[in-house]
């Protein structure tokens, strides 16, 4: 059998052709002759079938250069990302959103500055996504808190639980969505829509809503979908310190609302150490809406850099100390 390998001889890389002898070979190695009479011992050899014999460069291709790494580095892993580049379009995306009143103290413990709390409300969302480009077919649930940013009304995405790897990886890496792997479900049971969240074997949330009692106001639903949403994107450094800590704003775009309904609803949240939806307790239900839409998940923009702000504050404090001294 013919073998092609690359090895280091006298501080120079050489390509050699070897005659493989199974009686003398040892694991991952072979002995042979460099084109001529130079004897060598190679650390590793690649065994090529007859149709693949040829030059070293033809077999191995072109080495990945630094510029190639940067060009391809939009997601991890580098050579086999968990999700493709956008845009990310969703078809027949089904929402059940139950808005409830909670305590202001609970919200103050989780809403980061410079966002401001409006009323002490939370939107608990169950979302069924049967058809999305790049991310596939999955279900999601979580909590969105109505907030203001510099006078602009929107929603702060506090928690998200879903059952598909691609949108978890893409959501966290691109935007900073607080996504965790869990098992949310939406099912239609007779005259009721039921949404549940299991984290492992534990039931953490149950939402129930009447099925299409009254048509909802389409303009109000479209306005809520068009409002900005906010996230905290956190990427640690390799030493565990923060490398990226940013407030991100994103929008849903190209929205086609297909139907929208309202009905009575109920919501039960239960404690769990890793799915802490119950830390925003339900005091009373304000409203519920059930709708379907086609839409595009737009990419984000950074509106506040926490690390830059911290650096400026630290520099100012140091300057004041010098002046005081």
Same structural domain, 58 and 95? no
Residue 322 lies in a domain: no
Q: Is residue 321 part of a domain?
A: no
Can you read off the two tokens belonging to residue 118? 């409006």
26 and 123 in a common domain: no
Nearest to 89 by CA among 235, 289, 298: 298
The CATH number given to whatever domain includes residue 307 is: 2.40.400.10
Quote the domain boundaries for residue 193: 91-312
Report if residue 26 sits inside a domain. Answer: yes
Question: Quick one: 205 and 303 in the same domain?
Answer: yes
And the tokens for 217? Answer: 């106001």
User: Catalytic amino acids?
Assistant: 179
Average pLDDT of the residues of the chain: 85
Domain count, the chain: 2
> Does residue 159 sit in the same domain as residue 295?
yes
Give yes or no for residue 312 having a pLDDT over 80. no
34 has pLDDT over 70: no
Return the pLDDT at 177.
98
**Does position 52 have pLDDT exceeding 60, yes or no?**
no
The span from the CA of 84 to the CA of 112, in Å, is 31
Q: Is residue 302 part of a domain?
A: yes
Instruction: Let me know whether 133 and 239 are in one domain.
Output: yes
| Domain match, 253 and 131 both | yes
The answer on 196 and 274 residing in a single domain is yes
Residue 37 domain-assigned (yes or no): yes
Tell me which of 48, 63, 78 is where a domain ends. Answer: 63
User: Would you state the pLDDT for residue 309?
Assistant: 82
In sequence order, which residues have a C-beta less than 8 Å from that of residue 303 and are 6 or more positions away?
149, 230, 247, 248, 249
3-state secondary structure of 160: strand
Which tens digits make up the pLDDT trace of 157-192?
A: 999 999 999 999 999 999 999 999 999 999 999 999
| Structural domain includes residue 81 | no
DSSP-derived letter for residue 279 is: G
Question: Rounded to 5 degrees, what angle do the CA atoms 165, 225, 110 make?
Answer: 65
Any domain includes 323: no
- % of the chain exceeding 70 in pLDDT: 77
Per-residue model confidence (pLDDT) at position 14: 41
> Is residue 73 packed enough to be buried (19+ CB in 10 Å), middle (13-18) or exposed (0-12)?
exposed
Helices (H), the chain: 56-60, 66-72, 104-108, 165-170, 218-226, 306-324
pLDDT tens-digit readout, 243-301: 999 999 999 999 999 999 999 999 999 999 999 999 999 999 999 999 999 999 999 99
pLDDT computed for residue 310 by the predictor: 76
On the question of pLDDT at 97 being above 70, the answer is: yes
Q: What confidence score (pLDDT) does residue 318 get?
A: 61
| Tokens linked to 7 | 């090895």
The answer as to whether 79 is a domain residue is no
Least confident of 9-18, 106-115, 133-142, 210-219: 9-18
Q: Which tokens in the block code for residue 209?
A: 């809503």
In this structure, are 188 and 239 located in the same domain?
yes
Q: Are residues 164 and 239 in the same domain?
A: yes
pLDDT computed for residue 316 by the predictor: 62
My answer on whether 139 and 22 are in the same domain is: no
Residue 44 sits in the same domain as residue 97: no
The three-class DSSP label of residue 158 is strand
For residues 106 and 188, membership in a common domain is answered with yes
Residue 285 CB contacts under 8 Å (≥ 6 apart), including other chains: 98, 99, 100, 101, 264, 265, 266, 267
């Amino acid at each position: 059998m013919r073998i092609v390998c690359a090895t280091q001889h006298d501080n120079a890389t050489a390509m050699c052709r070897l005659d493989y002898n199974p009686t003398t070979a040892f694991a991952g190695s072979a002995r042979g002759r460099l084109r001529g009479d130079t004897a060598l011992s190679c650390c590793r050899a690649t065994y090529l079938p007859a149709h693949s014999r040829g030059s070293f460069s033809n077999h191995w291709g072109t080495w990945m250069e630094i510029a190639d790494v940067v060009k391809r580095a939009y997601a991890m892993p580098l050579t086999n990302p968990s999700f493709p580049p956008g845009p990310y379009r969703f078809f027949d995306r089904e929402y059940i959103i139950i808005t409830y009143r909670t305590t202001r103290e609970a919200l103050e413990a989780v809403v980061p500055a410079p966002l401001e709390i409006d009323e002490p409300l939370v939107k608990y969302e169950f979302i069924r996504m049967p058809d999305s480009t790049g991310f596939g077919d999955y279900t999601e649930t979580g909590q969105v808190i109505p907030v203001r940013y510099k006078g602009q009304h929107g929603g702060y995405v506090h928690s998200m639980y879903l059952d598909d790897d691609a949108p978890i990886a893409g959501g966290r890496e691109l935007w900073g969505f607080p996504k965790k792997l869990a098992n949310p479900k939406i099912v239609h049971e007779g005259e009721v829509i039921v949404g549940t969240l299991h984290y492992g074997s534990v039931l953490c949330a149950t939402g129930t809503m009447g099925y299409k009692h009254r048509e909802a106001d389409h303009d109000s639903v479209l306005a809520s979908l068009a409002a900005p949403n906010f996230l905290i994107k956190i990427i640690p450094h390799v030493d565990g310190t923060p490398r990226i800590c940013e407030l991100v704003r994103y929008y849903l775009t190209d929205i086609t609302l297909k139907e929208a309904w309202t009905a009575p609803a109920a919501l039960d949240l239960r404690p769990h150490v890793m799915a802490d939806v119950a830390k925003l307790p339900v005091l009373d239900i304000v409203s519920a809406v059930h709708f379907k839409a086609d839409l595009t998940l737009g990419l984000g923009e950074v509106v506040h850099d926490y690390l830059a702000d911290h650096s400026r504050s630290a520099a100012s404090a140091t300057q004041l100390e010098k002046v005081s001294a």
